[in-house]
């Protein structure tokens, strides 16, 4: 679609989003990590145990596995990420934030954006979140990219009595904390 054919409100909103992104990237570089490194840390902080893998990080940050691998190795060298042997599959490993990685996430520059959103009227903040979620869904190319959503609403999830549940995709029990985390294998019900 030609840019001149788009509604002016949509253009203004997309340009504002682009500026917010640029300002966020500036703050990320001031904090000593590049944007891909911040994105990888955010992925690992938000993801469930099944989604803390190099390939899931690559999908989250929309890059190749090789580029994601380089990013993760840099985070390992900085002491922010550690590889842990997978207890179910000894051939693979999952990634975990180290205590230094957790402390770094406490200083995540995205908090400035969240603070600005928190300054909106609550109804506007909710509407903005819902609208941006729909925009993101549209950009995820109709299922060609992982959704990275929590268990609720996934066809592989069966809720449990204790707020946990079971994942049919990974044939594994889930505790209540995991069901709220992002999953690379989420399939809308």
For 41-87, the pLDDT digits (tens) are 999 999 998 899 999 999 998 899 999 999 999 999 999 999 998 77
102-143 confidence digits (pLDDT tens): 999 999 999 999 999 999 999 999 999 999 988 887 887 666
Band (pLDDT 50/70/90 cuts) for residue 93 is confident
What are the start-end ranges of the H helices in the chain?
A: 8-30, 35-46, 54-60, 65-77, 99-105, 110-118, 122-139, 176-179
Band (pLDDT 50/70/90 cuts) for residue 153 is confident
Contact 51, 20 (CB under 8 A): no
Predicted confidence (pLDDT) at residue 6 exceeds the cutoff of 70: no
Q: Could you give the 3-state DSSP secondary structure of residue 92? A: coil
The whole-number pLDDT of residue 7 equals 78
* Percentage of residues of the chain with pLDDT beyond 70: 95
């Amino acid at each position: 679609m030609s840019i001149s054919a788009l509604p002016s409100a949509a253009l203004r909103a997309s340009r504002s989003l682009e500026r917010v992104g640029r300002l966020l990237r500036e703050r990320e570089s001031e904090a000593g990590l590049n944007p891909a490194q911040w994105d990888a840390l955010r992925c690992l902080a938000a993801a469930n145990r099944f989604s803390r893998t190099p390939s899931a990080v690559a999908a989250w940050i929309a890059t190749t596995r090789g580029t994601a691998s380089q990013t993760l190795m840099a985070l390992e060298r900085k002491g922010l990420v550690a590889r842990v042997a997978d207890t179910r599959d000894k051939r693979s490993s999952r990634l975990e934030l180290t205590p230094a990685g957790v402390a770094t996430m406490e200083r995540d520059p995205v908090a400035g954006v969240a603070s600005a959103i928190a300054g909106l009227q609550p109804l506007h903040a909710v509407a903005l979140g819902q609208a941006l979620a729909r925009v993101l869904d549209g950009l995820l190319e109709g299922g060609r990219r992982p959704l990275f959503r929590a268990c609720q609403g996934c066809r592989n999830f069966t809720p449990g009595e204790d707020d946990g549940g079971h994942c049919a995709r990974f044939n594994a029990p889930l505790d209540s904390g995991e069901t709220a985390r992002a999953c690379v294998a989420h399939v809308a019900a």
